[in-house]
């Protein structure tokens, strides 16, 4: 009698089941609990074997692998980013991940990570803002109103207590869709006609745009002192959202400098420009 392979029993979390889990727990509670887990991992940051994500870039997008291990478990995420997919009726981002036992090398979990990536990104942003944003902040500007914007708004509401969101996108239809999807969130929503209008009165500015170019979404004269900027969109070489002068007068916090210096906003700065890791 043949013994079934252990691989036959690897749990798989599909998109359908992930959505059932989100609805069962509730998205705001899930974001709060994810943020707590992410914070706990940052507090043991030295335990992780880290490397900048392995990226394959093309003219139309990027495909990336993100591996890590804490000595007991090993995991990786596969993710793409193809902004032009929206014109084809396809998702900009798709992802899946695998978790394995280091002691045996056997996989123990295979999961969709498209939805999970959206949740994790928002939870990490809000978790960082909990420590870095002005205390008592109530208003956030949200520039770039694609799918991730909705998760960001809900994350900042649940974790940081944001009650008002001012939205802007170069595509008014994106703003309208975001407003519609957040209508029942309890947030005070304002659609704006320019980035300048969106940031009025905002203590937090979240930029989550998708164009792969050295873009300037926020210029230096737009942003006053004491504002927390959550720059999400600058996630590959040649992709930025903030004018360099904003960075030069700011305290900069990043997740992992070896990656951020080539893919984040600080690729605009000298290689030795001081930054602080979130884990500190």
Q: List beta partners, residue 74.
A: 69, 100
- In the set 59, 220, 235, 272, the catalytic residue is 235
Query: How many residues are recorded in the chain?
Result: 280
Ranges for all domains in the chain classified under CATH 3.30.1780.10: 10-115
Tell me the whole-structure pTM to 2 decimals.
0.91
Residue 256, SS3 per DSSP: coil
The pLDDT of residue 238 is 80
Give, in words, the CATH class of 118-277. alpha beta
Ranges for all domains in the chain classified under CATH 3.40.50.720: 118-277
Reply yes or no on whether 235 is catalytic.
yes
Taking the chain (280 residues) in runs of 10, the rounded mean pLDDT of each run is 59 95 97 98 96 90 94 96 88 93 96 95 97 96 94 98 97 96 97 96 93 79 93 82 93 92 89 92
Residue closest to 156 by CA, chosen among 196, 189, 127: 127
The pLDDT of residue 1 is 45
**Cα 9 to chain centroid, rounded:** 31
| CATH number, domain 10-115 | 3.30.1780.10
User: How far is Cα 93 from Cα 184, in angstroms, rounded to an integer?
Assistant: 25
């Amino acid at each position: 009698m043949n013994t079934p392979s252990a691989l036959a029993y690897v749990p798989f979390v599909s998109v359908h089941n992930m959505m059932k889990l989100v609805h069962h727990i509730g998205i705001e509670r899930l974001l709060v609990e994810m943020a707590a887990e992410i914070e706990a991992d940052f507090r043991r940051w030295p335990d992780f074997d880290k490397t900048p994500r392995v990226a394959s870039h093309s003219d139309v997008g990027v495909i990336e692998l993100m591996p890590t291990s804490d000595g007991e478990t090993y995991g990786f995420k596969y993710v793409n980013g193809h902004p032009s997919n929206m014109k084809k009726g396809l998702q900009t981002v798709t992802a899946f991940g695998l978790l394995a036992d280091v002691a045996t090398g056997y996989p123990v979990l295979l999961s969709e990570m498209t939805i999970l990536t959206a949740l994790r990104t928002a939870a990490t942003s809000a978790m960082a803002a909990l420590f870095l944003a002005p205390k008592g902040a109530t208003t956030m500007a949200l520039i770039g109103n694609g799918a991730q914007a909705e998760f960001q708004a809900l994350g900042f509401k649940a974790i940081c207590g944001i009650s008002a969101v001012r939205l802007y996108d170069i595509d008014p239809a994106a703003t309208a869709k975001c407003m519609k999807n957040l209508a029942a969130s309890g947030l005070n929503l304002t659609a704006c006609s320019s980035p300048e209008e969106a940031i009025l009165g905002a203590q937090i500015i979240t930029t989550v745009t998708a164009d792969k170019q050295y873009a300037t979404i926020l210029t230096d004269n737009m942003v006053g002192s004491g504002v927390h900027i959550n720059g999400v969109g600058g996630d590959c070489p040649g992709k930025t959202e903030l004018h360099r002068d904003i960075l030069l007068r700011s305290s900069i916090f990043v997740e992992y400098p070896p990656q951020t210096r080539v893919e984040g906003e600080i690729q605009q700065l000298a290689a030795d420009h001081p930054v602080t890791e979130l884990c500190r």
